[in-house]
Structure 1
């Protein structure tokens, strides 16, 4: 199988890498995190590079690039530790909006492409425990219009967003896959309250409360679209994790090559060399499974969902191992807020929990392997 990137993909990677190097150094990132994590201006700069239109159809002003291009971008944003809601707003939201009627797409896709509107998914609910079908937010029709009531948690950039894409229950029980609709809710609509808070990794999230809030219908049968969009988000998180691990390993190797103890550099200690080899092996395992997740996004739902969960399990293990090992090899400085490596560790920890932690996805893999019990003929 050919894993070489095309010239266009290499050019895209280089463009993002150059922006990160020149426009988003650690001092800027650290200042934004200390100020609460608001990054709307950073998102606007990504729009100037054309990245916010990455997954938007060409007919609506986007570039209609595929999953591999998204992976390339996410790796570089991970390396740069860019704390903007790019994956949520520019990859997951367009995937959800694909199910909307043409008039809704025509109204919102161009705004997403040029970043004049920040549209984020609001998926998580309290007590869901990563279960995607757990939807208690309700959708009712009143006078020909849809109204939503409920609460969504850990919504990316909730207090900075202009609109939200919300799964809400039209019918069925709290955990049924049937009866879930998708709706677009504008921040300025009556009954909408969005509050924000800083996250542990220097980003921004918040709570979204809906009280008979006016909403625009995307689709009344949203389960398949919701699953696909979340898989897009997981693949993006895997790619970002690879980029972050890659950079954290490079920082650690540089530290071992310069820091001296007992009159010699740490890199000469055999135990640390073995530990570094283990770290690099986990990085490459994570990289291969990130590629696997991206390439499986075009498969049918059963194969895609299992493959994505398999990738998330490996990335969860790799991110935890790399983050902990690199921090330990740094010693005390590795956990200080002033040192860049600690911020990579925080981000890797958050990514491990994004869209379901390792144990959750291990259960998902197990549920989807019952026919073979893990043994393949």
Structure 2
């Protein structure tokens, strides 16, 4: 979807990462932490940070290139959160605390994660340790920065795609003035923009996962034999692969165009993040096609598709889990139901808007 140097570098990173994770006796948690430190040294968390604050001054397309490549390997690294959501939050807060954290991220002194949540319960991703957490408190319309040791955690669990998660006990958070990064309207604006950016980049990650699922399935059907014939010779299986491929191509085109529109300013206004309607339309569609590809890949692999030893199973798990990051399709359908269809000034309504009107 987004070829270039960043995509190629991320693809090489993934190849080396998969080899490290597959090494005999490798400790997955230790390897993931080492991989994230390598990603930090490569400057990925600073891509969106402006040059005057020590960052690379890149765009959403640059981050999406990295995310798409990582989506092909299901590495469970927090690239979307720490390279896009957090910088977006801090850039829109415009407070001394936010500026200081941005500078520390750019220099590698701080590793900041976010706890946004789109429901009454907040969850923290603990797969890779962070030094600070930005916690959204919607009831108080407040965004607070906490050191990792001060984050009150409840139940811990493993997500479908292998991430270590924990509930955040927001009722135990009593921030001091120095820890408040944003309040009121600034809080609303920053969280809305960050959630939109996160949702779009999760869609880019799903594009990478779908492409990998198609390729891995074709390779398996060409290799595996039944009754003396390769599975790829059975027409019903070929038709199922075509369904996967069509879904992938449609998703790739839609997500790529939406990301480009956001960067060009068509779906973003004055740095306030992507248009909420566009995000919901894309996220709802990608949630459906991602599930279609994941389920088809597992079924076409048969019993082998249920084993985590195969990459296809891990990628399918990530594609299924990605639907629930930054709102699943039902969340975004409900949000669309509360919005009015209105085309940009001077432009005709798009086909999607016309269908939703």
Q: TM-score range by the shorter chain?
A: 0.7 to 0.9
Query: Would the alpha carbon gap of residues 180 and 213 (structure 1) be closer, same or farther in structure 2, given more than 3 Å must change?
Result: closer
Residues 201-244 of structure 1: per-residue CA shift (max 9 Å, x gap): 12222233334244522222211111100001001100000101
Cα distance in structure 2, aligned partners of 1:266 and 1:361: 38
1:184 is aligned to 2:178: no
| Structure 1 gaps, min length 5 | 125-129, 135-151
Q: Is the 8 A contact 1:37 1:202 kept in 2?
A: no
**Residue 156 of structure 1 corresponds to which residue in structure 2?**
125
Higher helix share: 2
Q: Please state how far the C-alpha of 1:114 moved relative to its aligned partner.
A: 4.0
Calculate the TM-score normalised by the size of structure 2: 0.85
Structure 1 pair 12–30 and aligned structure 2 pair: CA distance change class (3 A):
farther
Q: Is the 8 A contact 1:235 1:308 kept in 2?
A: yes
Q: CA deviation at 1:38?
A: 7.9
Q: Which moved more, 1:209-218 or 1:38-47?
A: 209-218
Contact 2:17 2:35 in 1 (8 A): no
Structure 2 residue matching 1:62: 3-state secondary structure: coil
Partner of 1:306: 277
What does residue 212 of structure 1 align with?
Answer: 174
2:163 to 182, 197, 203: 203
Which residue, out of 101, 107, 116, partners 1:123?
Answer: 116
Relative to structure 1, the CA distance from residue 211 to residue 305 in structure 2 (aligned partners, 3 Å threshold; closer, same or farther) is: closer
* Contact persistence 1:121–1:165 (CA under 8 A): yes
After TM superposition, list the pairs within 5 Å mapping 1:323-342 onto structure 2. 323-342=294-313
SS at match of 1:353: coil
| Contact 2:116–2:191, Cα closer than 8 Å, also in 1 | no
Aligned residue pairs total: 336
Give the drift of 1:117.
2.0
Structure 1 length-normalised TM: 0.81
Question: 1:82-122 CA distances to partner (integer Å, 9 max, x unpaired)?
Answer: 21111111110110001334532442113222443221111
Say if 1:37 and 1:203, in contact at 8 Å, map to a contact too. Answer: no
Which of 4, 7, 15 does residue 13 from structure 1 map onto?
Answer: 7
Give the aligned partner of residue 242 of structure 1. Answer: 207
**Aligned-residue CA RMSD in angstroms?**
2.8
* Offset at residue 157 of structure 1 (A): 2.1
Q: Separation in 2 of the partners of 1:302 and 1:90? A: 15
1:200: how far off? 2.1
Change (3 A) 1:162 1:267: same
Deviation at 1:303, TM superposition (A): 7.5
Whichever structure has more strand as a proportion of its residues is 1
Deviation at 1:51, TM superposition (A): 1.1
Tell me which of 318, 327, 331 is aligned to 1:356. Answer: 327
Alignment of 1:274-293 (within 5 A): 274-293=239-258
DSSP 3-state at the match of 2:160: coil
**d(CA) in 1 for partners of 2:338 and 2:77?**
34
Which residue number corresponds to residue 141 of structure 1? none
Alpha carbons of structure 1 residues 306 and 100: separation in structure 2 relative to 1, 3 Å: closer
User: Which residue matches 2:346?
Assistant: none
